[in-house]
Amino acid sequence: MNGKVHSTEELLVPPDLLNPFVHRLELSTTYDKIKTAIFTVIVLPFRVLAIFMLLTMAWILACVGLVGLSEKELRQRPITGWRRKLNPLICSLGKSTYQVGGMSLTVKGRQASRKEAPILVVAPHSTFLDAGITYVTGFPSIIVRRESGLNPFIGKLINYTQPIYVWREDPNSRQNTIKEIIDRATSDQDWPQVLIFPEGTCTNRSCLITFKPGAFYPGVPIQPVCIRYPNKLDTVTWTWEGPGALKLLWLTLTQVHSSCEIQFLPVYTPNEDEKQDPKLYANNVRRLMAKHLGIPVSDYTYDDCRLMTKAKRMNLPFASELVEVQKLRQKLGLSQANIEEKILTQSPHIITNEGGQISYKEFARRLEVPSTNEVLQQLFRLYDKDCAGIIDFREYLLGVLVISKASNVAEMVELAFKIFDRGGKGNVSQSDACKALYHTLAMPSEEAQRVFRQIDTAGRGCITFDGFREYARRKSDYSHVFRRQEEEEEKKAATKLQVYDFHNANYKTKAE
C-alpha cells in the first residue's frame, strides 16, 4: 500500500488482486469523442440497417430449415439432407453481420472434425459478440437457456443449431444437461460438434476462471479454442460491473475497425486419470489455454457472479470487491470462525469506535489475525481505496454479514441499524441512519434526512430500527421493505399450524 498506515508495523504492499468481473470503459481522448459523435450520425444507421437485413435473411433461412420439424425431433436426431446444406449459407450471413459492423473475424489454426473432437471448448468468454464463433465453426450445438429458444426472432437461429437446452425450472437440469452432452459427444450419429464456454459467464479476459466440468464428463477428445480482441479501445467486454450491452454495441459500431481473433489449438486427448476425473481434465485444459493466452488462472466461479449480483442489488459498499473479500476471508479462516458475527453479538460497542474508522493494526487485532499476514493485508487494501491507512470497519462488517445472514431486505436494514448504532443501545444518529439507509435501500441523503425528521418528531437526534419499521409500514414508498418478511413469517406460522393439526389429528385417532 502506498499510503501511510497508522501502525507501528510496516504493511507490505501485496500485488493487486484480479477482479475478472469488472470492466471500465471511458472515451478519454478528444479524438475518440469526436470520432464517436461523427460515426454515430454518419455510419451507425447504415451499419445497424445492414446488420438487421442480414440477420433477417438468416432468420428466414432458419425458419425454412425448421419447417416440418418438431422440437422433439430436433432433440432426437441430427438435421440432414437439404436442411443441413443451409448451414453454410446461414453462417455466411452471420459472418457478414460482423463485417458490415466493422469487425473482422480472423481465424488461426485448423478446426478439427467431429470425429477428431466432438466438443469445442472456447475461452475466455467476455462478450455477447463471442457468438460470432458459432458462424465460424459451422453452427455447432450450443448450451443455452430454454427461455432463449422461445424468442420469436433469435430463437429460430438458436434452434437451428440443435442446442442442448438448460431447463432452469427443472431441479434435475444439471444432471440432464450433462447426460445430453455425453449422449451427443459419444453418439454414432452425425450430430454437430458441441460448443461450450466452460467459464459459464463473462469476464474481462484478465484471467481464466474455474471451468465448469460439463464439457469434460464425456471423457472424449476436445479442441480448445481461444478468443482475443486485440483492439486499442476495448468496446466489447461485457461484465457484471461495467457498461451495459447497448452502450458496448453502440461504441463498437462507431469504431473505424475492430478485430476478433479465433485460434484453434491442437486437439487435447485426455489420459485415463482425466477421463475418470472431469475436474482434473477441466483444470488441465484451462492451464493449457491460459498458458497459450499468456494470462493467469483464477479460482473464481459462476457462483461468485451471483454473489456480486446480490451485493449490487442490495447497494452494499464495495459490492464488486465482495467476491474477493469472501475468498480472502476463507483463506484466513474467518468464515469458519464467524469472527465478524461474534464481534456484532458480543462486542457491539467496539464497532463504531471513532465512527468506525480504524487502522490496519486495529483491523488485525479485531479479526484476531497477525498483522504480518499478507492475505490480511490484501483484505485491508480492498477497503483502503485512497491508501490513507484507515478504513470504515462498519462497511466491512455490513458487506460480510449481509451476504451471510440477511435473507431479505428487512433483515438487511435491521442488520445495518445494529452495525451503525454507535452507542450499542439501539439508537442511531441522523448521519449514521442516513448511511444505513443508503447502503441497504439506496436511499439518497436528502430523502434519508427527511425520513429521519419525520420519525424523530420529538427531536431526540436519534431513531431506532423499530421506529423506522413502523414508519415504513405506513408509507407506500417503503411498505414493501417489510412485506416480504411478513409474508415469510405468515408462511412459517401456517406451516407450524399445519404440522400441529396433523399431529393432533393422529393423536386423536390413536386415542380412539
More confident of the two residues 306 and 416: 416
Q: Record the cell numbers describing residue 251, joined without a space.
A: 461504441
Residue 168 confidence (pLDDT) above 70 = no
Sole residue written with cell 464495495? 318
* CA 14 vs CA 326, 328, 379, 381, 389: distances in Å: 17, 13, 10, 9, 14
- Assign 3-state DSSP to the chain and report helix, strand, coil percentages, each to 5: 55, 10, 35
In this predicted structure, what is the pLDDT of residue 4?
35
Q: Rounded mean pLDDT of the chain?
A: 83
pTM: 0.68
More confident of the two residues 243 and 494: 243
What are 358's strand-pairing partners? 391
Among 135-149, 203-217, 290-304, 387-401, top mean pLDDT goes to: 203-217
d(CA 459, CA 470): 17
Q: Choose among 258, 205, 195: nearest CA to 227.
A: 205
Alpha-carbon 53 to chain mean position: 33
Residue type, 317: P
Q: Choose among 257, 198, 266, 202: nearest CA to 230.
A: 257
CA angle, corner 487, sides to 484 and 489, nearest 5? 110
Cβ atoms of residues 438 and 315 within 8 Å: yes
pLDDT tens digit sequence for 28-84: 888 889 999 999 999 999 999 999 999 999 999 999 999 988 888 888 899 999 999
Domains along the chain with CATH numbers: 30-297 (3.40.1130), 302-396 (no CATH), 406-512 (1.10.238.10)
DSSP 320-369: GGHHHHHHHHHHHTHHHHTHHHHHHHH-GGGTTGGGGEEEHHHHHHHHT-
Confidence label for 299 from pLDDT (cuts 50, 70 and 90): confident
Q: Choose among 485, 458, 457: nearest CA to 469.
A: 485
